[in-house]
Chains A and B, each alone.
Chain A
């Protein structure tokens, strides 16, 4: 029972983590809560459905297509809605992000209708039994894919030039730009990475729950943002940890009979963590230098 819930929690948590990474990377560099990020995830899921049903593509190719489309959308959103506001007050880009979020939600509702859309079963429902624990093939694929993506992300950030520039900009934006790092490119690249991961998360959630919805990004995005803050916003391992932690806590809470409070679990945890560790589990403490 415990191990079963743990596996289910980690599966859910790894999708939160994929979305959370986008929030945390963007926040790390431009201190913006990108409220439209949940919508990128939602669009990823829809692109996945279209690729699988209309174009009859293999799920992995569909995943790739969804990631590509979302990269384009994510980067364009930054260019159009955030970039002009980079030097303005803190709240202006936030409101702009909310505008983008409303725009994309209604756009998708217009295209796909307000009801939930079924995600075809693309992975056969084979089950694996390990002791008392049952793991479905979908879960295995999600876990492997999510891990692969996260390892890939780490490699990009560690070894690629642009990845190093990202880290530099995240450490100290002004110095990085003074040192000749092309900040615009870094920011675009950050949005691209985040959007790709969110799209992957969207497709995986579609595969897992077999149902997607134009408003699915609202709650998932918000919870993923909680995961990012919980783990320590700006910290990539923090987002991963926060996502997993949240997934496990949520599944565990439901298993313990708090199903009615499911959506409150993430937020309660978030507030508790912030009260005891105001910058999240892996966040660096705020320096109060005067």
Chain B
């Protein structure tokens, strides 16, 4: 299978701190790749680099053969990378379905003039957006909440809504930043199934997670990060046995 995302020797500094240090990583199309590591290891920073929120101090990020690290976030989304946020960032005063429709923004058309004129073509486009949003919501088992205000959803529902919104952008690569955080075991199991379903749709998944067990049952390959550097990479079983990982990750905190 072909390579979808290549992080090529990427470094980012914040003042004196090197949050990500000469990182190399390649994601294979159609896989679930997990990224684990203790708090502050630089996992979210990698997502921020990949989605264009941060620009690398050094190195390149290549997506489908093209350099993307100089593009602004909205263009990167257009190229096919979507994400969720570790600290939920929904449009919390808007309805659930509007949140998802906003995700479909980059795949639809309609200027302010179209908004005023509401031509039949634009009405069709709107109807299509609506359908599409409902589909994404149904996939995340949120269809019955469509008209609710996003901020009123439960924590677990908000996490799922973030995924629905990201899916609406029609991505080739979906970056999930600790999607199971704060969920109970039953919710986690449901989420794992949903993630598998998304993978079956042909979407590559880049998964940051704290919960080792959650990752182990899901990912083909696991990469372990500590202080911005990769300390181990391999199948879940390999990584679990790696003494450096046990030292750096499991030794530090009980998950």
Contact = CB atoms under 8 A, between A and B. Distances in A.
Direct A–B contact present (CB less than 8 angstroms) = yes
Interface of A: 288, 290
5 contacts: A288-B53, A290-B44, A290-B48, A290-B53, A290-B85
Contacts of A288: 53
Contacts of B44: 290
A290 B44 CA distance: 8
For chain B, which range describes its interface: under 10, 10 to 19, 20 to 34, or 35 or more residues?
under 10
A89 to B, nearest CB: 11
A290 B48 CA distance: 7
Contacts, number: 5
Interface in B34-56: 44, 48, 53
B146 to A, nearest CB: 26
A288 B44 CA distance: 13
A208 B52 CA distance: 55
A290 B85 CA distance: 8
A260 B53 CA distance: 45
Closest 5 CB pairs of A and B: A290-B48, A290-B53, A290-B85, A290-B44, A288-B53
A290 B50 CA distance: 13
Contacts of B85: 290
A288 B54 CA distance: 9
B30 to A, nearest CB: 27
B15 to A, nearest CB: 10
A87 to B, nearest CB: 16
A199 B39 CA distance: 50
Nearest to B53: A290
Nearest to B48: A290
B57 to A, nearest CB: 15
Nearest to A288: B53
Nearest to B47: A290
A289 to B, nearest CB: 9
Contacts of B48: 290
Contacts of A290: 44, 48, 53, 85
Nearest to B44: A290
Nearest to B86: A290
A290 B46 CA distance: 11
A203 to B, nearest CB: 44
A288 B48 CA distance: 11
Contacts of B53: 288, 290
A72 to B, nearest CB: 39
A49 B113 CA distance: 59
Interface in B79-125: 85
